[in-house]
Amino acid sequence: MAETTRPARRGLMLILSSPSGAGKSTLTRNLCQRETNIDLSVSVTTRERRPSEIDSVHYRFIDRDTFEALRDHDDLLEWAEVHGNCYGTPRKPVEAALARGRDVLFDIDWQGTMQIVEKAREDVVTIFILPPSMAELRSRLVRRAEDAQEVIAKRLANARSEIARWEKYDYVIVNDDLNDAYDSIKAILTAERLKRSRAIGLADFVETLLDEAMP
């Protein structure tokens, strides 16, 4: 089929959540590097920047007053307090990307996921990433070596209540082998992009197809 005759589709919002350290940032980063037509939503946060993080690339690092002003002006599509810090998704870049027919990828927690699902269920696909074991989760947080010991302890203490949300998600992936987990996400994205309900002008396309003279 020629590219020009393929029906267009609505953009989708792909959300990845997991307990801290299960690997969702690594997976979202890989997806954005290797995939075309998907934009990463860059969140705002009041948490301290980690040594490896770049402002406006990994997050926009802001203070609490600025965060509250954005929230109160309805500039955030969703927001939540996680591990004692505030995080939120700026609304405008998401709306602009979707309007351009692009997909948007989110690395956000279950609270934010539920808020977006409530607003746009038909356009949202949610994936929960599980670690292969709690021992491995701990060692990934330690190996990442970006957070202080007490921050790691807090994140591990919160992991159980975050994992308990797994049933709210459309898909669940155990991130044991990184390549396998990546391939699973890619397969989900490919299938979800092909959903009939996302296609625009499919009925017209089929009509034209049926009107075509038989060769």
> Binds 80, which of ligand ADP, ligand 5GP, none (CB < 5 to 8 A, cut-off by type)?
ligand 5GP
Confirm or reject binding of residue 28 to ligand 5GP (CB under 6 A).
no
| Structure tokens, 208 | 């034209």
Residue 78 CB, shortest distance to ligand 5GP, in Å, is 6
Question: Scanning residues 65 to 84, which ones bind ligand 5GP (CB under 6 A)?
Answer: 78, 80, 82-83
Per-position DSSP letters for 94-129, written without gaps between them: HHHHHHTT-EEEEE--HHHHHHHHHHHGGGEEEEEE
Amino acid 149 reads Q
156-190 burial: b if 16+ Cβ within 10 Å, else e: bebbeebbebeeebeeebebeeeeebbebbeebbe
Compute the distance between CA of residue 24 and CA of residue 215 in angstroms, rounded to an integer.
Answer: 50
Chain-centroid distance of CA 99 in Å reads 18
The site for ligand 5GP, by CB under 6 A, has a size of 16
> Binds 21, which of ligand 5GP, ligand ADP, none (CB < 5 to 8 A, cut-off by type)?
ligand ADP
Confirm or reject binding of residue 103 to ligand 5GP (CB under 6 A).
no
Confirm or reject binding of residue 46 to ligand 5GP (CB under 6 A).
no
Compute the distance between CA of residue 17 and CA of residue 168 in angstroms, rounded to an integer.
Answer: 11
Compute the distance between CA of residue 100 and CA of residue 111 in angstroms, rounded to an integer.
Answer: 27
> Binds 23, which of ligand ADP, ligand 5GP, none (CB < 5 to 8 A, cut-off by type)?
ligand ADP
Specify the residue, 17 or 126, whose C-beta has the smaller distance to ligand 5GP.
17
Confirm or reject binding of residue 152 to ligand 5GP (CB under 6 A).
no
Positions touching ligand 5GP (CB under 6 A) are: 17, 20, 43, 47, 78, 80, 82-83, 87-89, 107-109, 111-112
